[in-house]
Structure formats: structure tokens, C-alpha cells
Structure 1
Amino acid sequence: MGVFGGEVKSVSVMEGDSVTIHTNIKLQTDDLILWKFGLNKTLIARINGVAKDISVYDDVLDGIFRDRLQVSNQTGDLTITNITTNHTGEYKIIINGKQNTSYRFNVTVYAHLPVPVITRDSSQCSSCSLLCSVLNVRDVSLSWYKGNSLLSSISVSDLNIRLCLSLEVEYQDTHTYSCVLNYTITNQTQHLNITHLCQTCSDCVCCCHVSEAVIRLVVSALVGVATVAGL
């Protein structure tokens, strides 16, 4: 049956990029090369060295590989263009020739991250309470940084409709803050503009409690009534 390699090489790539799975081998003229994908080991490419023929089966699996596959007839390298998360999985190359062998590759495709959004809780007047949030993310961490120092962090592995992390700062704080959404191989950062978001109550009426505003209005009205009655 020949010798089959047990090591699995990991390959990471961003969605929309092209990736080449390098075999680091030199094909012989009589080799028969098979590329297979997924748990069911679906055949997606074939190189017949004797017939000098390359076949690409990109219509399998509902056509997720259509017009995306390229195979080198010299090294057997497999290239996937405009890759998507549907192409995450195990790829296996089987080499049948003088020495039968195979290699496995675990490809992980990461979707592009959204930029975190920083908003303020306008109901808080005594302090500047902020919220950093992202939508529809998985396998990520969301963190607040003060300069280069980590303040707080939260992680999620399953798909989360909304991931949030809060932070409170002083109105006159001059430090730099940033909210970072992090993947294994990439991240997105949103920097905090304290001057823009953290205005004091005297500068921003909306930051005061509605109940406090109502109380002020009632007190003013009572003072007016008392003044008229005295006259």
C-alpha cells in the first residue's frame, strides 16, 4: 500500500485571497496525483503523469470550487483563488507512483472582520460610560486598551449576534483608548475620540437623566407659582 504521511500542515488565509498549497515535491513522469477535499474525501483534481493530463473537478460539492482551482503539473501544488469560508477543511494529496505517499493540509479561511463601533450611554451624567460593540462575529476577542495596556477583554467562539464591552473614563482624561477586535491572523481597531463622545453635562443636555430634567422643570414651575401668589 505504500507509505502515507501522518502529519497535517496548517494553512491560514483571509477570505477573498488566493492560497497555494505547496507540496514541496517534484513529480515523476509516471506519477498519478489525486487531490481530495473534506470529510468525504471528494476528488477535486487529478494529474496523470503518463498521459500528461490535468483534470479539475470544480463542479462537485454544489460548485463551490468552480473557476477557482489551478494545479501545477510540475509540483502538484494546488491553488485556490478568491477563497471563501466554504473552502475551510482538510485537503489531501495522494501520489501514486514508484513510492506511494500522501500529505494532508488543514486550511482555515477567516472572514473579514467588521470595525468595532464605540457609543456612549447618554443616560449617565456623572461619568462617561462607553460601549464597544460588533455584530455577527465568531472565534474572536474584543478588548479595550489604554495606550498599549490591556484593560479588559471578552472572547466568543460561537456565532454571536452582538458582542459588547463597556468602559468608563473621566471627562478630562487625556490618555489614548482603543477597542480592538482580534482574530488569529488579523484584527480591527477603533480609536476612542474622548473629546467627541465624552462631553460634560453643561455641553450636552442629552447626557443628563430624563428624570433629573423633569424635576428641574417642576421646581422652576413651583417657584414661579409661589412668586405670583406672593405678589
Structure 2
Amino acid sequence: MLRYLAALIFLIATPLMATEEQVVLGMSQNRVAITANFDGSEILIFGAVKRETAIPEAHPLEVVVAVSGPKLPVVVRRKEKRLGIWVNTDSVEVDAAPSFYAVATSGPFKEIVKDIEDLRHKISIPRAIRSVGAPMDVKNAQEFSEAVARIRTDNGLYQVLENTVEVDQQTLFNTSVKLPANLTEGDYLTRIFLTRGGDVVSQYETTIDVRKVGLERWLFNLSRQQPLVYGLLSLAIAIAAGWGASAAFRFIRQGG
């Protein structure tokens, strides 16, 4: 009986402990419009920690901000040199890889987030990529997920921004995340984690809406809904551009 009573007390107390510190979040913008001349954007993320009790003294407060683009499957192929020629050999479909992923932290990631917490919440880049069910005959299947992370990091789509979250008096925090020009449309999940001693003590989630607008939206919809018309329009524009360039060149030669 005492054992069940203790378990009941624990279940009742756990939500109370989990909400001792809560995030009150703000962002400079929660919508990003992709236009014809879009060259990237910078999102300022700031917030405060709401408390019902005094600031805990055991461990300092740390903050982790993770921004994730839409998760899509991607096929990764391994190339090997055979008879002097590079050819595709093995291939693996990574089930879900964020099109964009940025992790900003108030300290070194390994020091402020325990591995078990990273595994539970999938905060780091390797944990954010989901790859299961690789063919049995493929060796070192994990290398394919690592290749996705490496390539997208080189392209600026994956970012690890350690020590970029400023925390003031364990109450206020702010950081900024740069979104590159080559963004994928969709909802960008933004997660805020408060940690103490490596343990996640609170979590908050919101989204950033990234959409094409204007001419970009019209062309995107046309390419999906009427691909034949889109192809003919692209051909007509290419011909007109070529003719215009040729006419301008002849005019310049005649003028000279």
C-alpha cells in the first residue's frame, strides 16, 4: 500500500516540478516570405523564464534553441572508384532529414545537455536525422546519415551555434538564427529547452511559417499544377531572352 501511495505522490508532484520554470517566448518575426529576390533572413529569438519560486541554486540555467525545417526523405548514394571511374555503388534512403537545422546554445553542447536528454528530445544534428531500415547488405549504414549532415553543414543548411545564446540573470535570454536563401517551404519547428546540470527542466515549442509569395508562389504553383504550361512558358522566356541579347549585341556592333 505504501509503495502505491509513494508512486501516486510522485506522479502528482512530477508535473509541478516540470513547470517550476516556464519559457515566455518572443520572436522578431514568425513568418518568412520567399520572394524573387530573397537572399536569406535573420530571426531574432528572445524570451524570459517565468517562475513561481526562487531561482534554483544547484546548477546555472542554460538555454538551447533548435530550429528545424520540414523533414523529408533523401536518398544518399556511395561512390567508389572502379577501373579509374567513379560509380555509384550502395544507396540508402534516409527516412527523415530536416531541410534546415540550427542549434544555438548558451554553452558547449556536450556540457549543458546530457546524452540521454539528447536521445530523448533529439536535439543535436545527428539525432535529428532519422534513418532506419537500411538494407542488410549495406555496410556502415550510419555513414549515409553522417554524409547528409556533412553536406548540408557545408552548404549552410545545418548549423551548430555554441555559446551564441545570451542568458541574463538566469531569466532573460536571446539569440539569432540566420536562415539561408535556399530555404524549403513549410513550418519551421522552433524548440526552446531550459537545462540545469544537463537535464531538461522545461521545453517550449512554436513554429515559423516559411512560404513563397508573389511571382515565386505563382511559378511554384504553376510548375506543380500545370507542368506543361510551365515548361512552355520557361521555353518562351528563354527564347525571348536569347533574342533580346542577340538584338542588343547587334545594336552595339552597328553603333560602333
The question of a shared fold, defined as TM-score above 0.5 by the shorter chain, is answered with no
Q: Which has the higher helix share?
A: 2
TM-score interval w.r.t. the shorter chain?
Answer: 0.3 to 0.5
TM-score when scaled to structure 1?
0.36
Q: Return the structure number with greater relative CO, CA threshold 8 A, min gap 6.
A: 2
| Largest Rg, 1 or 2 | 1
TM-score when scaled to structure 2?
0.33
